[in-house]
Structure 1
Amino acid sequence: MTGRHGHGRLSASRLRRPRTYLTLALFSVVALLTGLVAWFGTPSSGDGEDPPAPSANDLPADAATGEVTGGACAPSATLVPPCGAWWGAYVPYAENGSLKDAVYAFEKKIGRKLDLLYTYHDMSNNKLDGQLLTPDEQILGRDRMLMLAWESTVWREPRHANYTEDQLGWAKVASGAYDREIIDPQARRIKAYGKRVFFSFDQEVDARVGDAGTPGEYVAAYRHIHDRFEELGVDNVVWVWTVSGFLQSGELFRQLYPGDDYVDWIGMDQYNYFTCHDTTDWKDFDRSQRPTYDWLRTHISAEKPVMLAEFATVPDPADADRQREWYEEIPEVVRTMKGARALVHWNRAVPGEGCDLTVNDGPGLEGYRTAGQDDYFKQPVPGR
């Protein structure tokens, strides 16, 4: 999320029926409706009552609840699903300011609950954009995994509306200048949450070099945040290091890598832009993802799992079916990318003509919905 984006109705019967049958019928209807609501994402405590909504002022409640996932397909300590891949998305807030409403509406469209919800924050420390684990995130995280992307910037507009921001600078982050004011309070919020979360510091980092500092300063800042979290006892973070994936920056990727001891997952953000940004080359899903995936596995780590941390395609104005087919081929292709264990769709249009990357309707939605029903993306989501 950097400048790169600038870069059935029931009929009543007149016949009287025995009370028992009426009660059973009503019970069945209620059960059906309850099941549908749960399927599309409304959290439930399991005892018929929803937990109270989190307070914006308090530390998050411990969300590490439920049974520990077991069996051959249970995810690892760093949330790697051995039998398939997570199905996730970034979903922008609804017009009413609710992330919950936006996510529930999106899940209703795609016919399934997301495994992983990707959200973005700045370092303003304010409750709108700079607070990790907002009340909505805590509610959504009850039965989904969260991926928190933390940017070393202060956004000039709420929720980064037009992608304008002010950099804090990696050197100052590394120096500890922001520890007490910014880093420590947010670290304590994650610790209190308890449940494991994916965490990315300055995703698409290669696009920030220069404005935020040098590669060496980034590595120092990343390691400082990692070590500071450890000092504060934050042990429920799965660390994701994310680059844009443009291979012209391959040497830069090497310089920006914090090291195997500091990274659990490697993230990459690649798209089929086609008409967006004055490009003309249509890349199918395989050709849009595999070159960067292969490069990272060869030159950075062959062992770390890979997250397609942002991916999407714009439609082809001349061929409406092309977008649907792009998404439909994902399950077959990703099975041949054995290290790719999480796919996160970017469901937001970005600035520029022809840059609609959403799957909110039409052939794009059809293809994305079909892909998400594949068994490869139906892995047991941990509750802690």
Structure 2
Amino acid sequence: MTLSGSGGGPPERSVLPRAALLLVGLLVALALLVARQSDDSGPPSGSSATAGSAPSGGSCAASAALAPPCGAWWGAYVPPGPNGLAASVTAFEQRIGRRLDLVYTYHDMGTGTDGQLMDADEQSLGRTRLLMLSWESEVWGGSGSGGSTADRPLGWQRIASGAYDATVIDPQAARIKAYGKPVLLAFDQEMDDRTPADGSPADYVAAYRHLHDRFQQLGVTNVRWVWTVTGYLPRAAQMAASYPGDAYVDWIGYDQYNYYLCKSVPTWQSFADTQLPSYIWLRQHISATKPLLIAEYGTAADPSQPQRQQQWYEQVPQVVRQQLPGVRAVVQWDSSVPGPDCDLSVDSPAASAGYAAAGRDPYFHQPLP
């Protein structure tokens, strides 16, 4: 999904229709099913370790890229409420009965509070959790006495040129450097939904590489770089053309949902149905070895069968463990998107019960760095 709006977290978000995804995804999954059997992101060849168990050395400590070798991080985007992000995350954790491993937040590239990376709430949460920041190359609009102001894209070409180094990039790089602990940083997640408004895929690659190289020049060594696409397979060519290269990417993310009635998808899709096609494509066409993360996921409700949400989430541990071995983090989108029947949160009793059950699985309880 793509951000737009303002106000301390991602405001309203536009969503791609996914009705065509089921057919395309099933064809891809059938064609490439054998490929995932050879996924290289698990234990090395010849190791006796299996997914969810300690590697041959006996350690489940996270890798240098922050990937847990014995399971996956349990994460969420939680909208900040009137008492701030930290209070909202704490309330969410109390409701699901566990602490999150990873908290996902969003920032624009403005010079106001929305553009301040590592704010006080994030630093507080980061004491006992990993943080993943999505940095959006626009200045979010706001609502003042004159009404709403449109979001303003900065443009990938100008970012790549260094035009925003002094005013935007360098100050925020300094804040992350001062924080000290490792941070996951995604630049313009779902860039395949931003062309041509923000530029071409080549422009995106240039901007991404410029940010990466600028951080290196400034001595920021605690960032792990995340490249996140929609995973929407009709945009495969755009996604492939937007990859900055293995030397610039530590994690690969994708965002897939079971929208069902929210986006008039005629068939209910299981968690595996939503995730496997994109996963297989990324492994085949982008990287066979980089750790993957499901950067956003969730399901709408089926009003005629309320328990479907619970069952959907209860499937997550087994599917990730057995069918998505390269996925090392899963991040729930605990919010809604524009449209009727578009609540993708786990607020309902059925969704909350299923999500809490999935979060108790040992595969999602790994030692934090």
Structure 1: gaps spanning 5 or more residues: 8-69
Amino acid aligned to 2:291: P
Q: Are residue 380 (structure 1) and residue 357 (structure 2) matched?
A: no
Match in the other structure for 1:6: 14
How far off its partner does 1:361 sit? 3.0
Q: Are residue 251 (structure 1) and residue 266 (structure 2) matched?
A: no
* Higher deviation after alignment, 278-287 or 219-228: 278-287
Match in the other structure for 1:343: 330
The 5-angstrom pairing of residues 21-100 of structure 1 reads: 72-94=59-81, 96-100=82-86
Residue 180 of structure 1: which of 166, 170, 176 is its match? 166
Helix, strand or coil: the match of 2:356?
A: helix
Match in the other structure for 2:32: none
Q: Is the 8 A contact 1:106 1:360 kept in 2?
A: no
* Higher deviation after alignment, 291-300 or 276-285: 276-285
Amino acid aligned to 2:336: A
Match in the other structure for 1:171: 157
Task: Return closer, same or farther for 1:178/1:78 CA change in 2, 3 Å cut-off.
Answer: same
Q: Are residue 145 (structure 1) and residue 153 (structure 2) matched?
A: no
- Larger-gyration structure (1/2): 1
Match in the other structure for 1:11: none
For these two proteins, the number of residue pairs brought into alignment is 315
TM-score, length of structure 1 as denominator length: 0.80
Helix, strand or coil: the match of 2:115?
A: coil
Residue 364 of structure 1: which of 331, 334, 351 is its match? 351
Match in the other structure for 2:253: 267
User: Residue by residue, what CA displacement relative to the aligned partner does 1:345-375 show, whole Å, maximum 9, x if unpaired?
Assistant: 0001111111000102310000000000000
Task: Return closer, same or farther for 1:322/1:201 CA change in 2, 3 Å cut-off.
Answer: same
Helix, strand or coil: the match of 2:227?
A: strand
How far off its partner does 1:279 sit? 2.1
What CA distance in whole angstroms lies between the structure 2 residues aligned with 1:237 and 1:320?
A: 41
Helix, strand or coil: the match of 1:216?
A: helix
Q: Are residue 155 (structure 1) and residue 140 (structure 2) matched?
A: yes
TM-score, length of structure 2 as denominator length: 0.83
What CA distance in whole angstroms lies between the structure 1 residues aligned with 2:263 and 2:161?
A: 37
Match in the other structure for 1:205: 191
What CA distance in whole angstroms lies between the structure 1 residues aligned with 2:193 and 2:282?
A: 17
Structure 2: gaps spanning 5 or more residues: 5-12, 16-56
How far off its partner does 1:110 sit? 0.4
Helix, strand or coil: the match of 2:197?
A: coil
What CA distance in whole angstroms lies between the structure 1 residues aligned with 2:79 and 2:110?
A: 19
Task: Return closer, same or farther for 1:117/1:302 CA change in 2, 3 Å cut-off.
Answer: same
How far off its partner does 1:6 sit? 2.4
Moved >3 Å (runs of 4+): none
What CA distance in whole angstroms lies between the structure 2 residues aligned with 1:191 and 1:361?
A: 39
What CA distance in whole angstroms lies between the structure 2 residues aligned with 1:116 and 1:311?
A: 14
How far off its partner does 1:165 sit? 1.9
Q: Is the 8 A contact 1:109 1:360 kept in 2?
A: no
Task: Return closer, same or farther for 1:144/1:164 CA change in 2, 3 Å cut-off.
Answer: farther
Amino acid aligned to 1:223: R
Q: Is the 8 A contact 1:3 1:163 kept in 2?
A: no
What is the CA RMSD across the aligned residues, in angstroms?
A: 1.5
How far off its partner does 1:278 sit? 2.4
Amino acid aligned to 1:360: D
How far off its partner does 1:187 sit? 0.3
What CA distance in whole angstroms lies between the structure 2 residues aligned with 1:260 and 1:145?
A: 23
Q: Are residue 136 (structure 1) and residue 144 (structure 2) matched?
A: no
Give identity over the alignment, percent.
56
What CA distance in whole angstroms lies between the structure 1 residues aligned with 2:220 and 2:271?
A: 37
What CA distance in whole angstroms lies between the structure 1 residues aligned with 2:160 and 2:123?
A: 29
Amino acid aligned to 1:80: A
How far off its partner does 1:166 sit? 1.5
